[in-house]
């Protein structure tokens, strides 16, 4: 969302296996990545920055059950993709 307007993704990759918990959203406009990063920070996600091949790694850890929501952002040419998945394993 930007200014209360939902920004539509350009394409979507759903989970491809029964045990695959990741989904991917791809945006052809790189200029909106900062808006998404600001929203994640406001929602309480921790910004880990660049980690290995991930350009921008974000995590939100839920205390009650130890679940962690992870968002990985990859940039390319003029766009970016967001991969989201839940890790239920405690560290």
Q: Which residue has the higher pLDDT, 19 or 56?
A: 56
pLDDT tens digits for range 38-69: 999 998 999 999 999 999 999 998 888 778 89
Please tell me the distance from the alpha carbon of residue 4 to that of residue 83, in angstroms, as a whole number: 22
Closest among 65, 71, 72 to 89, alpha carbons compared: 65
**Which structure tokens are listed for 79?**
């766009």
Q: What pLDDT was estimated at residue 40?
A: 92
Residues 6 or more apart whose CB falls under 8 angstroms from that of 84 comprise: 22, 23, 24, 25, 69, 70, 71, 72
Domains belonging to the chain, first-starting first, are 11-87 (3.30.160)
- How confident is the model at residue 23, as a pLDDT? 85
SS3 57: strand
Q: What is the pLDDT of residue 6?
A: 67
Report the mean per-residue pLDDT for the chain. 83
Is the pTM value of this prediction over 0.85? no
> Across the strands, what pairs with 84?
23, 71
């Amino acid at each position: 969302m930007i200014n209360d307007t939902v920004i539509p993704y350009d394409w979507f990759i759903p989970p491809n296996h029964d045990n695959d918990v990741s989904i991917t959203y791809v945006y052809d406009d790189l200029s909106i990545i900062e808006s998404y990063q600001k929203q994640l920070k406001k929602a309480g996600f921790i910004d880990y920055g660049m980690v290995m091949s991930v350009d921008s790694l974000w995590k939100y850890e839920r205390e009650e059950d130890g679940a962690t929501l992870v968002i990985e952002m990859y940039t390319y040419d003029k766009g970016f993709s967001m991969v989201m998945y839940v890790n239920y394993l405690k560290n």
